[in-house]
Chains A and B, each alone.
Chain A
Amino acid sequence: MQKKLTILFIVIILLSLGAILWAYLQAPAEQTDPGLTVVPAPEQAKAQRPPCFPDQEDNYIPLPETENLALNKPIQSGEHTDVYVAANVNDGKTDTYWESKGFPAQMTIELGAAKKISTVAVRLNPSAIWEPRKQEIAVLVSQDGQAYTEAAPAAVYDFDPATGNRIRIDFDAVEAAYVQVVFTMNSSSRTGGAQAAEIEVFE
Chain B
Amino acid sequence: MRTESKAAPRLILLGAAALLLLALAIFMILSPKAPRKGQANRAPEGQATLLTLYEGPKTMTSSPNARITANGHELFVYDVMVNHEHIWNANTQPSDTPMTYFDFSGKVEIDIQMPGLPTPVESAQVLPSAWGIEPEVADGHVRFAITEPGQYTVIYNGSVNKATHIFANPPETEVPDADDPNVFFIGPGEWTMDAIALGDDQTLYLSGGAVLHSIVSVSGAKNVRILGRGMIDGSDYPAWNQAGSYARVPIDLNHAKDVTVEGIILANSNCWNFNSYSCSHVRVDNVKIISGRQNGDGFTFQSCTDHVVTDSFARTWDDSLVIKNYSGSTKGITFRNMQVWTDLAQSMEIGYETDKGLTLDPEIQDVLFENITVLYNFHKPVISIHNSDDAFVHHIEYRNILVENAFMEGDNGRNNELIEMNLNKSGWSTVKDEFGSVDDVLIDGLTVLHTKDGRVPASRISGQSEDNRITNVTFRNVSILGQKVQDLKGLNASVNEFCENITVE
Binding site for B on A (CB under 8 A): 2, 5-6, 8-10, 12-13, 15-17, 19-20, 22-30, 32-33, 35-50, 52-53, 95, 126-129, 131, 161, 189
Asked whether, in the complex, the Cβ of A95 is within 8 Å of the Cβ of B246, the reply is: yes
Q: Cα distance A20–B43 when bound, in Å?
A: 22
Q: How far is the CB of B264 from chain A (nearest CB, A)?
A: 14
A47 and B55 contact, Cβ closer than 8 Å, known pairs A12-B22, A19-B29, A26-B36: no
A10 and B14 contact, Cβ closer than 8 Å, known pairs A27-B36, A28-B42: yes
Chain B residues closer than 8 Å to A33, beta-carbon distance? 42-43, 49, 51, 71
Asked whether, in the complex, the Cβ of A20 is within 8 Å of the Cβ of B25, the reply is: yes
A44 and B59 contact, Cβ closer than 8 Å, known pairs A12-B18, A20-B21, A128-B195: yes
> Sorted from nearest, which 6 A-B pairs have the closest CB atoms?
A23-B28, A16-B21, A19-B25, A128-B197, A12-B18, A41-B55
Chain A residues closer than 8 Å to B188, beta-carbon distance? 39-42
Q: Cα distance A29–B72 when bound, in Å?
A: 11
B136-144, B213-221, B446-454, B480-488: which lies at the interface = B213-221
Contact among B25, B192, B215 for A47, CB-based, below 8 A: B192
Contact among A2, A17, A23, A127 for B195, CB-based, below 8 A: A127
A39 and B217 contact, Cβ closer than 8 Å, known pairs A20-B28, A45-B59, A50-B186: no
Contact among B25, B189, B220 for A189, CB-based, below 8 A: B220
Chain A residues closer than 8 Å to B34, beta-carbon distance? 23-24
Whose C-beta in chain A lies nearest to the C-beta of B26?
A: A19
Query: Can you list, as one digit per residue, whether each of B194-223 has a CB less than 8 Å from chain A (1) or not (0)?
Result: 111100000000011101110101011000
Q: How far is the CB of A4 from chain B (nearest CB, A)?
A: 11
Is residue B32 within 8 Å, beta carbon to beta carbon, of the partner chain?
yes
Chain A residues closer than 8 Å to B192, beta-carbon distance? 47-49
Whose C-beta in chain B lies nearest to the C-beta of A97?
A: B246
Q: Cα distance A12–B380 when bound, in Å?
A: 75
Asked whether, in the complex, the Cβ of B197 is within 8 Å of the Cβ of A161, the reply is: yes
Whose C-beta in chain A lies nearest to the C-beta of B36?
A: A28
Is residue B255 within 8 Å, beta carbon to beta carbon, of the partner chain?
yes
Q: Cα distance A6–B14 when bound, in Å?
A: 7
Q: How far is the CB of B268 from chain A (nearest CB, A)?
A: 14
Q: Cα distance A71–B36 when bound, in Å?
A: 72
Chain B residues closer than 8 Å to A13, beta-carbon distance? 14, 17-18, 21
Q: How far is the CB of A14 from chain B (nearest CB, A)?
A: 9
Chain A residues closer than 8 Å to B255, beta-carbon distance? 189
Asked whether, in the complex, the Cβ of B49 is within 8 Å of the Cβ of A35, the reply is: yes
Q: Cα distance A3–B106 when bound, in Å?
A: 54
Asked whether, in the complex, the Cβ of B73 is within 8 Å of the Cβ of A36, the reply is: yes
